[in-house]
Chain A
């Protein structure tokens, strides 16, 4: 009887250990290049996310051109200039010098903020496009792809940030922002008031910002190739 209880205890302990270790299991399987595992360098990671962001921006550009064909919003509208993207509260550098002056960590945070801010709006944009009678399925698929890519890009940038943290390039404060439990910005629900076209216009710009910031980061941190 005591032997059985012992066995049960051992099993319980093992289960507990395994469960506690499950949190750590999300860590990469490959540690420090052991067992012939190919570790992606930071440069490779950056190249991947930059390509990803370029593709995302390309899709948003195409959708925007389609919107302009269908809607052709008048350029003479007075209220057009007062368009206000919901991400305008996020402080983003508007010039090269400003971007270069910004610290890597800040820049990484800006990127992550932007990508996070667009997670929900893009999903709803896709939903509205799918139900819109004017758009064909091709456009709604693009919207869905765009939404997925934004999500993937965010994940990728988080990985890059992790890598940089590991390398000691940036501090650890970025990781807190990446968690899904992070609180949304103050005007996070402002986007619901925006029309689809304005959403697209804003996202097109923001995706360009993300791409550009990533490039700047890359050329500042790992300037070997293509800089």
Chain B
């Protein structure tokens, strides 16, 4: 016995040695583990395990189980049916509502290892097979198609006897999509799917589960194609409808944007009362005191003005203008020309105050134009700028004057220019360069015609008498017709007052007239002149007054100083501005009487154009008055004031 044990030990040692010599390590097998047990129909079940390390030696596995309340240990009856590492329990070996204790043993030459035991009850490990015979058909419900999916339970699961109760679930998706649509079908074996896409291909799958168990695998995919049930015509109609709606929206938007102008086009707004300085809000407030207070212009009627007699001018004050003042004519011409150009109509509905200003300007321009043409016809040589300027100024003076007060033989009545001229202080502008301003002024005055459609005609007689009619369409404008007084001849000594409306503002151009017979008794001193008359050449004949109101006839007194025969203009104090010039021989009142238009022309042309300094240098007073038909002795002015000069 000792010998045998020694031999056994020796053999073992040898074995270990040989194994060690081979260079390999052997160990008992690793611990196996039962992965899962499943029953497809609650009548049989299968358990699977996985083995641990085999320890380098061939390892065998065995499954042992014990039933509840029994000590007997049984080995797995079937290792093969379910595959590798599995144990299949058939019907005879399966008891329901009985707890099984299952263990797997792995053993090799060196030992065996038991797995952890697992308690299972077959009722709770049921995982059926997937449903079978899944059929999908397309049916129609009032023209709208739907899918009908039907299936059968797995053939192994006995639902007919009520042994297993299965609930079903199916999922649907379009072929090109990724998300499935799940539907729980309960215990029924049929399901309808609605709201299909026309012409789409659908995929359908079904699975089942017992009331307490695991879900089965999904059945194989069933493909179904839905026919095209949406007609082709409909999209076209939908497109047309959308297009029309779009057009309608655009029209509505356009109408909304331009609604205001459209409304103005159909129903033009009625112009409301527009009075300068009148606040409509006051009218809305309803306080009459405030309204009327705004209408009241302070200073008018002039309460503090001197008494009426003071307004009556019996004589004109003449300041001695200097040479330079005459040169300033051009600038003033330019200024006034520009001013009229720049004068646009204000917010007033009428064209009142501005028009009056432009009226004379337009007339002046045309007068100059015609005068110009006349000069060109006579082919004046010498196109010096200076001379042109001179002529231009002379013409301007001429026609402006004629415009203002010259009587017109043909028409037979003369009207004044109320509020037609700008006040004189506008003269007092800075000096501009003569040439450029003049040329510029020329451009302004000659280029555009601001004549209203009402036509302004300007005709020129041979005799230099001008017939002018200016008819304006506006009711606030006045037409001036100047005619030759019939009684001119007989009233040599008639003094005519240059009477104008109280609102007459004579522009500088208009005022620049050559007055005949104006003599300044002494230079650098204020002299008084009288307006004698207007001769047939449409010239205002002025007579200087010496020491008071005495009048001197004719040329009895030749002035030593300058000749104030030209009206430069009227300032805002309604005073005629006369300019003096060096008298020439033959400048005589009486000469003027007998002289024809040529004479007057000679008078005008021969005299030099003095420069004019500040208009304040020559300030004249002009008689102002109200509208009254005046037939003076020479009866040439219609709307002159009724005031007559005393003692003429």
Chain A interface (Cβ within 8 Å of chain B)?
54, 57, 61, 75-76, 80-84, 88, 92, 94-97, 99-100, 205, 208-209, 212, 215-220, 223, 226-227
Residues of B within 8 A of A99 (CB): 163
Interface residue SS majority, chain A: helix
Instruction: Report how far A164 CA is from B471 CA in the complex, Å.
Output: 127
Contact indicator B163/A96 (Cβ below 8 Å): yes
A219 touches B160 (CB 8 A): yes
Known contacts A94-B97, A95-B91; decide if A227 and B160 are in contact (CB<8 Å).
yes
Task: Report the Cα distance A9→B66, complex, angstroms.
Answer: 74
Say if the beta carbon of B116 comes within 8 Å of chain A.
yes
A208-B123, A212-B163, A219-B160 known; A81-B69 Cβ under 8 A: yes
**B43: Cβ under 8 A from any A Cβ:** yes
B161, A216: Cβ atoms closer than 8 Å: yes
Q: Which residue of the partner chain B has the closest CB to A95?
A: B96
Number of interface residues of B (CB under 8 A): 29
B42, B101, B165 — which one has the most chain A CB atoms within 10 A of its CB? B165
User: What are 26 A-B contacts defined by CB distance under 8 Å?
Assistant: A75-B117, A75-B118, A80-B119, A81-B66, A82-B68, A82-B69, A83-B68, A83-B69, A83-B99, A88-B69, A92-B97, A94-B96, A95-B43, A95-B91, A95-B94, A95-B96, A205-B97, A205-B121, A208-B97, A208-B212, A212-B162, A212-B163, A216-B161, A223-B160, A227-B160, A227-B161
A-B interface pairs (CB < 8 A), number: 71
B7 within 8 A of A: no
CA gap between A94 and B165 in the complex, in Å: 17
Q: Mark B66-108, 1 if CB is under 8 A from A, else 0.
A: 1011000000000000000000000100111111010000000
- In the bound assembly, the distance between CA atoms of A127 and B459 in angstroms comes to 134
CB contacts (< 8 Å) of A100 on chain B: these are: 161
- A81-B69, A82-B69, A220-B161 given as contacts; is B42 within 8 A of A96 (CB)? yes
A81-B97 contact given A61-B212, A215-B165, CB 8 Å threshold: no
> Which residue of B66, B101, B158 contacts A96 across the interface (Cβ within 8 Å)?
B158
Partner-A contacts on B (CB < 8 A) = 42-43, 66, 68-69, 91, 94-99, 101, 116-119, 121, 123, 158-163, 165, 187, 211-212
Known: A57-B212, A94-B98. 8 other contacts (CB 8 A): A76-B116, A81-B68, A95-B96, A96-B43, A205-B123, A212-B162, A215-B163, A216-B163
Of the candidates A97, A208, A220, the one having the most CB atoms from chain B within 10 angstroms of its own CB is A208
A51, chain B: closest CB distance, angstroms:
12
A84-B68 Cα distance, complex, nearest whole Å: 9
Task: Rank and list the top 10 A-B pairs by shortest CB-CB distance, nearest first.
Answer: A219-B162, A215-B162, A94-B95, A96-B163, A216-B162, A81-B101, A94-B96, A219-B161, A205-B97, A227-B162
Instruction: Tell me which residues across on chain B come within 8 A of A208, comparing CB atoms.
Output: 97, 123, 212
User: Closest residue of chain B to A226, judged by CB?
Assistant: B187
Report Cα–Cα, A57/B124, bound state, in Å: 13
A227 B159 Cβ-Cβ under 8 A: yes
